[in-house]
């Protein structure tokens, strides 16, 4: 791979034109959150001005990805219960979901499934803010969407190369572009000003040992991706379960006895999200 070519793809991907920018509301809420005088009601009012976003938010909050035991029916209680960081990552998920769902249904299912597994793992491990880890799982492959939208010709070449040489999509990306979807995804996440808790797991989901600050979150998304591929739920470009990183595995500290109950819980939650869509027009009961 010559450096020049890599630099050229890098430039094209960094200039991403076809992916929508995050709604301005995210920046506005960010500013509000920094102001100690901001009240929950004020924040709720800002979100509810965007009816579609508000109903999507409530639909997501009440879906199995986040696994809250009770139905949350108002934005204010959602903000109080979940805190601002989670609401922010939910708004981001709601926006990104839209792009992914329209682009590639099977990748979308893989991402949904990964979010579910990450949530189950995070809760099992007693990690703080499991909702953020679910969100990281949800968008870990966003780089694939970007490559597909920005470099459609190369995307096809990657698919062909991976089939022809029987190599993983990741290896084919590195061969053709000189970079991979994890790296692309992390640029995107950074350009959206997402917190490091989301950026690092995206960047490191194939190489969790490279995570510097968010080692646990990266390890969870790494293993979440492995589990959902092992279960064959959705499709992420090739069929193979990727290798497990030993350092991440040690960090997770799972015992053989944990696996069956985890699989059971994951299966139940996957049933619940089967066919989940943010399209609120077709499912008006999702609106609260």
Partner 1 sequence: MQRILLAQTAPGMILAKEIFNPDGMVLCGAGTTLTPSLIERLASLDVVDVTVEGHPVIIEGEKTLHEELREIDLRFHRVEDIAPLMYLKKRIQAKMVASRGSGTVTK
Nearer to partner 1, 43 or 252 (CB): 252
73 forms part of the interface with partner 1 (CB under 8 A): no
3-state helix, strand, coil in the chain (%, to 5): 70, 0, 30
Q: Of residues 227, 236, 251, 278, which one binds partner 1 by CB under 8 A?
A: 227
Q: How far is the CB of 44 from partner 1 (least distance, A)?
A: 24
Q: Of residues 260, 281, 282, 284, which one binds partner 1 by CB under 8 A?
A: 260
- Decide: 136 and 118 in contact? Cβ < 8 Å: yes
Residues 88-127 touching partner 1, rule: CB under 8 A, are none
How far is residue 42's CA from residue 55's CA, in Å, rounded to a whole number? Answer: 17
241 forms part of the interface with partner 1 (CB under 8 A): yes
Nearer to partner 1, 17 or 239 (CB): 239
Q: Of residues 157, 231, 280, 288, which one binds partner 1 by CB under 8 A?
A: 231
What three-state secondary structure class fits 192? coil
Nearer to partner 1, 167 or 280 (CB): 167
239 forms part of the interface with partner 1 (CB under 8 A): yes
* Residue from 261, 227, 231, 256 nearest 244 by CA: 227
Q: Which residues of 164-189 are buried (b: 16+ CB within 10 A; e: fewer)?
A: eeebbbbbbbbbbbbbbbbbbbbbbb
Tell me the number of residues near partner 1 by CB under 8 A.
Answer: 22
Q: Of residues 126, 256, 275, 284, which one binds partner 1 by CB under 8 A?
A: 256
284 forms part of the interface with partner 1 (CB under 8 A): no
Phi and psi for 258 in degrees, rounded to 5? Answer: -75, -25
Residue 47: both structure tokens together: 């979100």
Q: Of residues 18, 163, 271, 283, which one binds partner 1 by CB under 8 A?
A: 271
21 forms part of the interface with partner 1 (CB under 8 A): no
Q: How far is the CB of 25 from partner 1 (least distance, A)?
A: 30
Q: Of residues 125, 242, 280, 288, which one binds partner 1 by CB under 8 A?
A: 242
Stretch 162-201: interaction string toward partner 1, x if CB under 8 A: ------x---------------------------------
Residue 65: both structure tokens together: 């990805």
Query: Alpha helices of 49-195 — where are they, by DSSP H?
Result: 51-61, 75-103, 105-125, 130-138, 142-150, 152-164, 169-177, 181-191
Q: Which stretch binds partner 1 (CB under 8 A): 31-39, 54-62, 172-180, 256-264?
A: 256-264
275 forms part of the interface with partner 1 (CB under 8 A): no
* Residue from 224, 49, 59, 69 nearest 139 by CA: 224
Burial of 271 (0-12, 13-18, 19+ CB in 10 A): exposed
Query: Helix 40-48 crosses helix 75-103 at what angle (to 10 degrees)?
Result: 40
67 forms part of the interface with partner 1 (CB under 8 A): no
Interacting residues toward partner 1 by CB under 8 A: 168, 226-227, 229-232, 239-244, 249, 254, 256, 259-260, 263-264, 267, 271
């Amino acid at each position: 791979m010559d450096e020049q070519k890599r630099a050229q793809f890098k430039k094209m991907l960094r200039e991403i034109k076809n992916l929508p920018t995050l709604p301005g509301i995210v920046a506005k809420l960010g500013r509000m959150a920094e102001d100690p005088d901001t009240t929950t009601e004020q924040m709720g009012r800002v979100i509810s001005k965007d009816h579609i976003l508000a109903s999507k938010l409530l639909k997501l909050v009440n879906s199995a990805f986040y696994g809250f035991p009770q139905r949350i029916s108002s934005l204010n209680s959602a903000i109080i219960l979940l805190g601002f960081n989670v609401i922010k990552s939910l708004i981001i998920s709601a926006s990104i979901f839209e792009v992914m769902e329209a682009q590639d249904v099977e990748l979308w299912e893989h991402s949904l499934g990964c979010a579910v597994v990450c949530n189950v793992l995070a809760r099992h491990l007693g990690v703080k803010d499991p909702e953020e880890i679910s969100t990281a799982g949800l968008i870990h492959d966003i780089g694939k969407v970007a490559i597909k939208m920005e470099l459609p010709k190369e995307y096809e070449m990657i698919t062909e190369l991976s089939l022809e040489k029987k190599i993983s999509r990741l290896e084919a990306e590195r061969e053709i572009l000189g970079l991979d979807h994890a790296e692309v995804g992390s640029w995107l996440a950074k350009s959206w000003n997402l917190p490091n808790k989301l950026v690092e797991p995206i960047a490191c989901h194939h190489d969790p040992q490279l995570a510097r600050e968010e080692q646990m979150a990266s390890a969870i998304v790494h293993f979440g991706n492995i589990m959902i591929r092992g279960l064959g739920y959705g499709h992420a470009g090739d069929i193979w379960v990727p290798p497990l990183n030993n350092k991440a595995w040690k960090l997770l500290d799972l015992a053989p006895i944990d696996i069956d109950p985890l699989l059971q819980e994951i299966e139940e939650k996957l049933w619940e999200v089967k066919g989940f869509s943010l399209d609120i027009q077709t499912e008006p009961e999702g609106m609260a």
